[in-house]
Amino acid sequence: MTEILYGKPVADKLKEEIKERVAKLNERNLEPKLTVVRIGNNPNDISYERGILKNCDNLGIKTEVIEKDTDTTTEEMLKLFEELNANKEVSGILLFRPVPKHIDEEALRYAIDPDKDVDCMHPINLARVFESDFSKLVPATPMAAMKVMEYYGVELEGKNVVVVNRSLVFGRPISMMLLKENATPTICHSRTAELSKVTNEADVVIVAMGRARSLGKEYFNENSIIIDVGVSADKDGKIGGDADFDELSDYVKMITPVPRGVGSVTTTILLDQVVKACEILNK
C-alpha cells in the first residue's frame, strides 16, 4: 500500500522545536525578528506575507513589513539593506523576489548580511552549501524536502536519488544535501534523454519541474519513493504536483501530495532560519 507523506506532521514537529528555541532565546532577553521587504502590492506576495506573519505570531517571532513603492531605486534599496544589516533587533531579512526590472537584484544579493539572509540569496550562503557547510543559513525548499524524507524515515545512504531540476534554488543545493547524507544523486533536466528510464532505476525521485501531473506510471514502479516539489496549474487550472497523484497514489511505495506536501513545510523552514539567524547573531 502506498504511504502518503503529508507535510503537516513534519511542520508541526519543526514548529515545536522552534518554539523551544525561541523560549531559550527569550530567557536571554533576545527576540527573533523577521523583517519582510516587499516592493509593490503583488497579490501573491501579500497572500504569502499574510501566511508568514500569522505563523511567526504563533511561534513568538516578531515581524515587521517594509513596503516600498515600485519606483524605488537600487540606491534606496541598498541604503535600506545597510540600515537593516546594522539594526541589532532584526534577525532575518526576507526580500520578495523578483524585484522590478530597474532594480539591480544582483547588487541586493551581495548587500544583505549573509547571517540575516533567511532566503539564502547571498552567494556566500549558497557557496557554503556547496562546501557541505550547513551550519549557517540554507535554502528553504531543498531543506523542506530533506526534512520530509527524514521525518518519514526515507533511507538515503547508498541510495540512487534522481533530482529532476537543475536550478540554483533547488536542484543543485538539494544534490549537495543528498551527498552529505551519502546518497548518490543524479541531476536531470529538460534535455535529459529517456527520463522515464532514469527515474525507474532510482530509489528516490525528487521532482520540481513545474509541469502539473506530467509524470504518470511509466516513470515509476512499485518501489518508487516520490518527493514532489512542483506546484503548478494543469490545463484545467487545477493546482498539482509534477507527479500524477491520482494515478500513483495506490501504485508507488511513497509519495508526497500537492498541495499538503513539501510546500506545507517550506514556510516553517523559513521561520526556523529566522530563529537560527538570531542564534548565530548572538552566539
Closest CB to ligand NAP among residues 141, 186? 141
CB of 169 to ligand NAP, least distance (A): 5
CB of 56 to ligand NAP, least distance (A): 17
Closest CB to ligand NAP among residues 63, 165? 165
Cα(259)–Cα(262) distance, rounded to whole angstroms? 8
Closest CB to ligand NAP among residues 121, 195? 195
CB of 91 to ligand NAP, least distance (A): 22
Residue 267 CB-half CA count within 13 A: 19
As given in the structure block, the three cell numbers for residue 86 are: 546594522
Sorted by sequence, the CB contacts under 8 Å of residue 23 that are 6+ apart come out as: 60
Q: Which of 259, 262, 252, 257 is nearest to 2 (CA)?
A: 252
CB of 268 to ligand NAP, least distance (A): 10
CB of 214 to ligand NAP, least distance (A): 7
Strand spans (E) along 61-179: 62-68, 92-95, 160-164
CB of 228 to ligand NAP, least distance (A): 8
Residue nearest to ligand NAP (CB): 210
Closest CB to ligand NAP among residues 170, 245? 170
Cα(261)–Cα(19) distance, rounded to whole angstroms? 22
Closest CB to ligand NAP among residues 184, 232? 232
Closest CB to ligand NAP among residues 84, 209? 209
CB of 70 to ligand NAP, least distance (A): 23
What value does the CA radius of gyration of the chain take, rounded to a whole number of Å? 19
Sorted by sequence, the CB contacts under 8 Å of residue 76 that are 6+ apart come out as: 68
DSSP secondary structure letters along 169-216: TTHHHHHHHHHHTT-EEEEE-TT-TTHHHHHHT-SEEEE----TT-B-
Residue ranges binding ligand NAP (CB under 6 A): 141, 144, 164-167, 169-171, 188-192, 195, 208-211, 229-232, 262-263, 266
Closest CB to ligand NAP among residues 128, 147? 147
Cα(241)–Cα(46) distance, rounded to whole angstroms? 23
